[in-house]
Structure 1
Amino acid sequence: MSKNFSLNHPIVEESFRIIDQEVGQHNLSLLEYQIARRVIHSTADFEFLDLLKFSPKAIDSGINFLRNQTTIITDVTMVKQGIINLVSKTFKNSIITAIEKAPHALPQKTRTETGLLKCYQQCPHGIYVIGNAPTALLALCQQINEKKLKPSLIIGVPVGFVSVLESKEMLATIDVPQILVEGRKGGSPVAAAIINSLLILAWESNH
């Protein structure tokens, strides 16, 4: 399998060319920009160029742990569906989805939050990808602060208006490899684009 198997589609390459042309000069590193470009490709929103924030070891950590087949935990099924194809073509990491772990919510908790607590108990050192549910991200951050067991990487990009800013601000205070989107923007397509970018970078560096 060619290392560029997922990037050779003419429409993707043409989209990247257009994005590069419109972005011009920027302040991101080469690898940060490759991730940002795929997020822009998925959303047609150039603001993500400035909203994406990377901790110093986030990309290297993501690449290394994906390559080592670390389990990926997503908050919702939509994120899982957005990455399952590329995961199956590359490192075949196990994927666990929080909401699927919780047929019923615990009192005063959402189903996604309830499922996330089960996922953390089962796999505290996994790669966590939160694209939809800020309650899940808050629960994850609280568990890390209490248990001191750190995930390999957290992608914290929930979208919306309730608890979104608070969840991202809490994540930013935790010493764990992380990629987040500042403000209210984010979503499942953004989360999937980030993981897919990391999968491609990991695959290319492995071949």
Structure 2
Amino acid sequence: MNTPSSLNHPIVEQSFTLIDQEIGQHNLTLLEYQIARRVIHSTADFEFINLLKFSPNSIDIGVKALRNQTPIITDVTMVRQGIVNLVAKTFNNPIITAIENVTRTLPGKTRTETGLLECSQQYPHGIYVIGNAPTALLALCQQIKEKKFKPSLIIGVPVGFVSVLESKKMLAQIDIPQIRAEGRKGGSPVAAAIVNALLILAWENKI
């Protein structure tokens, strides 16, 4: 299952080999596993082999969107920092960080939530990557339900306790291409790992 890539450091490839040996059999497709394996490499948490969920054709859709240089909208700077180097080496997609995109204050909403709502108007077909802000994910899902915008893909992996389970449940119920992590686990490293895995799949022309 280990697929060498010039974009991967040899130590990463060695880690992948060790992960393959420890996981053994699993129920993911080959492409899903390549994404899950990178998440496990970033977190050292093997539970993600079961926590990650993929809507039909979400990987194909994400790969095509990246190749088309679709803007990537991240909720926080840490996610941006985790993908910026590989984006620059591949398709050079614009990366917009929602928390830095705030031009106004909305009562009762966090800065990240406000920034993402503004991004949904500016980049309605973007790839949205949520690693930390469950309230922002809830707001995005509501916008989609109200047919106010339709992103190419949502990567929904917020981490924590408040509104995290609710946001992931709402995402699972909407008809939009998505990759999400069930339960409370997630975070910036998980979000960045998923984007980076998609970038490598797209760059290697595996799909």
Bin of the TM-score, shorter chain as denominator length: over 0.9
- Asked whether the equivalents of residues 124 and 151 of structure 2 are also in contact (C-alpha less than 8 Å), the reply is yes
CA contact (8 A) 1:38 1:194 kept: yes
- After TM superposition, give the deviation of residue 147 of structure 1 in Å: 2.7
Q: Please name the residue that 2:42 is paired with.
A: 42
> Identity over the aligned pairs, expressed in percent?
78
- What is the distance in 2 between the residues matched to 1:157 and 1:206? 25
Q: Aligned letter for 1:90?
A: T
SS state at 2:179 partner: strand
1:55: Cα distance to partner? 0.3
Q: How does 1:75-154 map to 2 (within 5 A)?
A: 75-102=75-102, 105-154=105-154
1:159-191 deviation line (CA, Å, top 9, x unaligned): 000000000000001101000000000000000
Q: TM-score, normalised by structure 1?
A: 0.95
Q: State the Cα RMSD in Å.
A: 1.4
Q: Which amino acid aligns with 1:106?
A: L
Question: Which residue in 2 is equivalent to 1:71?
Answer: 71
Tell me, in whole angstroms, the C-alpha distance in 2 between the residues paired with 1:91 and 1:206. Answer: 15
- Conservation of the 8 A alpha-carbon contact between 1:103 and 1:111: no
Counterpart residue type for residue 128 of structure 1: Y
| Moved >2 Å (runs of 4+) | none
Name the CA distance, whole Å, in 1 between partners of 2:55 and 2:16: 25
Counterpart residue identity of residue 42, structure 1: S
Residues matched between the structures, number: 204
**For residues 187 and 116 of structure 1, what CA distance do their matches in structure 2 show?**
17
Q: What amino acid does structure 2 have at the position aligned with 1:39?
A: V
Contact conserved, 2:120 with 2:149, CA < 8 A, in 1? Answer: no
Amino acid at match of 1:174: I
AA aligned to 2:90 is T
Could you list the per-position Cα deviations for residues 39-78 of structure 1 after superposition, in whole angstroms to 9, with x for gaps in the alignment?
Answer: 0000000000000000011000000000010000000000
SS class of match (2:204): helix
User: Is it true that 1:202 corresponds to 2:198 in the alignment?
Assistant: no
Corresponding letter in the other structure for 2:45: D
Cα distance between partner residues in 1 of 2:152 and 2:73 = 11
| Pairwise CA distance, 1:104 | 6.0
Determine the C-alpha separation between the residues in 1 that align with 2:94 and 2:148: 23
What amino acid maps onto 1:36 in structure 2?
A
Equivalent residues of 1:105, 1:111 under 8 A apart: yes
Question: Does the 8 A contact of 2:121 with 2:149 survive in 1?
Answer: no
